[in-house]
Structure 1
Amino acid sequence: MAATHLCFSVPPPIPFSSPSAPKLRHGPSLYCAGFNFTHKLSELSNFNRRQKGHQFSALGGDLLGDFGARDPFPAEIESGFGEKVLGSGNTEHRILIPNISALSLAQQECGPLSPFQPPLSKDDAQKLLRKVVGWRLLDDEGGLKLQCLWKLRDFKCGVELINRIYRVAEATGHFPNLHLEQSNQVRAELWTASIGGLSMNDFIVAAKIDEIKTSDLVPKKRVWA
């Protein structure tokens, strides 16, 4: 059987003076089958990457682009590409103080009301009701009211809760009607009598009352083994 001989033709290395030579200036290069390989890849880590204007080109037939950041080319600067992308350099950054609509009800303060001001509609009251916890709407003959009930451990805890609610309401100047019922139940009702219904002040006070600590006053839950 005749022997088969395989022949490989390896072109000579491309000199670094050639325009098509790789930009790596570290060690000799070998051109083989359309790929450029550095002779000393292990020395890449010691290469001075801080050298201005130096770029690493991806090796291989399909160029992956440059590694790391680079300065824009003059043609890119002339095209004004920076103004056509998000995060333009001239973006104005301002620290805005939140307005009253962005604050929670508990952070707002009660304001003066005119006797000619109309009360809140039932639709508006229903929307504001989502911002308070444990309160419900009462459609009374005198207008809409807010009502909340608390079940306490005993009479003493009921009196203590009424005192805590009073201290919060005193700071706002808008007082609810408070009732101690069945020796261990407190009922609070809020409305603005001067306008014959609910105002924003009623919801503000309700939100502030929601922040009162009651965990030490309510009955303890039983834990079953």
Structure 2
Amino acid sequence: MAATVPTHFPSSILFLRLSLHRHRVTEFPFPTQSRLSLRTRAAAGPDLLGDFGARDPFPQELESNFAEKVLGNVDTEHKILIPNVSALSLAKQDCAPIPPLQPPMSIDDAQKLLKKVIGWRLLEEEDGVKLQCVWKLRDFKCGVELINRIYQVVKATGHFPNLHLEDSNQVRAQLWTASIGGLSMNDFIVAAKIDEIKTSDLAPRKRIWA
């Protein structure tokens, strides 16, 4: 059913009703003239929109501490939580110094982190478990360009991969922490940073058949 919108609004507040928890209602007294105006207004039909505009609270409202009973009052404490390191993506984290006595990462932990990087796989060798990724590129020049881009990204981390240019158009990268004989969090951080490097312009061109 469509609501009938009144064409005029009173200049003073006629009636205030605050709905609190569990539909509790608090009513505040108003002058006699306002109550008379209210009777006249009630005869014209219900006011579906209420009164517009801001005003100062009545003394009775202040005494009732109604602001303490509603959501979003001025005393509500709002906290902005800063995500901890574990919540940040690997590419946004920084490499940390690795103590020499720190054990290498377990295979189970490495398998879990492997899901957070793209195109990398675990490689078990005699000197420890490593991360490896291979790129097929358009030509030798593109291979050199990718190695340069990788260097620009990882130089600030201080943790460098072993890079090999193979078959004139293939680059192979290996990451591991030699000081502990295996993988550390630093290896996955650097792998994630390398994943963000643009390589679409270096990839082989697709053949278009007529």
Q: In the comparison of the two structures, how many residue pairs are matched?
A: 178
**Identity of matched residues, %:** 66
Aligned to 2:200: 215
Aligned to 1:144: 129
Q: Which amino acid aligns with 1:67?
A: L
CA distance in structure 1 between the aligned counterparts of 2:42 and 2:176, rounded to whole angstroms: 74
**Considering only CA atoms, is the larger Rg found in Structure 1 or Structure 2?**
1
Bigger relative contact order, structure 1 or 2 (CA pairs below 8 A, ≥6 apart): 2
Q: Which amino acid aligns with 2:124?
A: D
Distance 1:119 1:87, change over 3 A: farther
In terms of mean alpha carbon deviation, does 201-210 or 85-94 score higher? 85-94
User: Counterparts in 2 of 1:30-179, with a 5 A limit?
Assistant: 44-45=6-7, 47-49=8-10, 51-54=11-14, 67-68=49-50, 78=64, 83=69, 87-179=72-164
CA distance in structure 1 between the aligned counterparts of 2:179 and 2:194, rounded to whole angstroms: 22
TM-score by length of 2: 0.70
CA distance in structure 1 between the aligned counterparts of 2:14 and 2:170, rounded to whole angstroms: 79
Distance 1:222 1:52, change over 3 A: farther
CA distance in structure 2 between the aligned counterparts of 1:105 and 1:172, rounded to whole angstroms: 13
CA distance in structure 2 between the aligned counterparts of 1:125 and 1:59, rounded to whole angstroms: 75
Aligned to 1:35: none
Q: Which amino acid aligns with 2:135?
A: W
Distance 1:95 1:57, change over 3 A: farther
CA distance in structure 1 between the aligned counterparts of 2:93 and 2:154, rounded to whole angstroms: 13
Q: Are the counterparts in 2 of residues 58 and 66 from structure 1 also a CA contact under 8 Å?
A: no
Q: Which amino acid aligns with 2:9?
A: N
Q: Which amino acid aligns with 2:198?
A: K
Q: Are the counterparts in 2 of residues 57 and 67 from structure 1 also a CA contact under 8 Å?
A: no
C-alpha deviation, 1:131, in angstroms? 1.6
Q: Are the counterparts in 1 of residues 67 and 73 from structure 2 also a CA contact under 8 Å?
A: no
Over 6 Å off, 4+ runs = 56-60, 69-72
CA distance in structure 2 between the aligned counterparts of 1:134 and 1:164, rounded to whole angstroms: 17
CA distance in structure 2 between the aligned counterparts of 1:171 and 1:140, rounded to whole angstroms: 28
Gaps of 5+ in 1: 1-40
Please, what is the CA RMSD of the aligned residues?
3.2
Q: Are the counterparts in 1 of residues 104 and 184 from structure 2 also a CA contact under 8 Å?
A: yes
Distance 1:186 1:59, change over 3 A: farther
Q: Which amino acid aligns with 2:90?
A: L
| SS of residue in 2 equivalent to 1:171 | coil
Q: Are the counterparts in 2 of residues 152 and 219 from structure 1 also a CA contact under 8 Å?
A: yes
